């Protein structure tokens, strides 16, 4: 009866592979980041210097200004003094107009908030890094020096992309 035992192996091997792969996955952060591309995360705008959320502060005003632009559905903003990092996501139907949207964002921010330097990006990696920095600031588990260093790293990364 060599035929019956070989059939068992055919059933046992896929079951073992399925068991091993489901046991080794940790989907908590990876799944959340994968869904962030599609879903709106809507993090509050934060300031590196104060490490507290102010719903009437300049970062929140910048966020309201950017979210009002046609084609943008999610914005993450972090301020460090006169520098403000603006990362946003564009609706899928507006992907062909990304250059135009970025120009509109830059023009509107420079016109409305004079005297500030804006780093604007629609790049998904920059958005994720900005959200991570934002979460660190909200948890208040990061020293100001480390937060400023991370802010500068994200700005430098954006400048390398352009």
Query: How does pLDDT run across 104-137, given as a tens digit for each residue?
Result: 999 999 999 999 999 999 999 999 999 998 888 8
Give the right CATH number for 32-161 from 3.30.70, 1.20.272, 3.40.50, 3.30.300: 3.30.300
Q: What is the pLDDT of residue 1?
A: 47
Degrees to nearest 5, angle at CA 146 with 140 and 147:
60
Q: What is the DSSP letter of 43?
A: P
Strand-strand pairing, 83-90 and 117-121? parallel
Query: How does pLDDT run across 143-162, given as a tens digit for each residue?
Result: 888 888 999 999 999 888 76
Mean pLDDT of 3-27: 66
Q: What is the pLDDT of residue 38?
A: 58
Which residue ranges make up each domain of the chain? Answer: 2-28, 32-161
Query: How does pLDDT run across 65-114, given as a tens digit for each residue?
Result: 999 998 899 999 999 889 999 999 998 888 888 899 999 999 999 999 99
């Amino acid at each position: 009866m060599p035929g019956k035992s070989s059939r068992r192996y055919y059933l046992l091997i896929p079951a073992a592979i399925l068991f091993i792969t489901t046991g080794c996955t940790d989907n908590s952060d990876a799944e959340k980041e994968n869904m962030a591309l599609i879903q709106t995360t809507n993090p509050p705008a934060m300031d590196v210097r104060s490490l507290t959320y102010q719903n009437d502060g300049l970062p929140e005003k910048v966020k309201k200004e950017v979210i009002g632009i046609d084609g943008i559905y999610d914005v993450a903003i972090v301020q460090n003094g006169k520098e403000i990092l603006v990362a946003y996501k564009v609706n899928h139907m507006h992907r062909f107009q990304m250059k135009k949207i970025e120009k509109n964002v830059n023009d509107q921010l420079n016109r409305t908030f004079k005297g500030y330097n804006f780093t604007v990006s629609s790049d998904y990696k920059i958005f994720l890094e900005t959200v991570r920095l934002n979460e660190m600031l909200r948890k208040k588990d990061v020293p100001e020096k480390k937060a400023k260093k991370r802010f500068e790293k994200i700005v430098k990364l954006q400048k390398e992309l352009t």
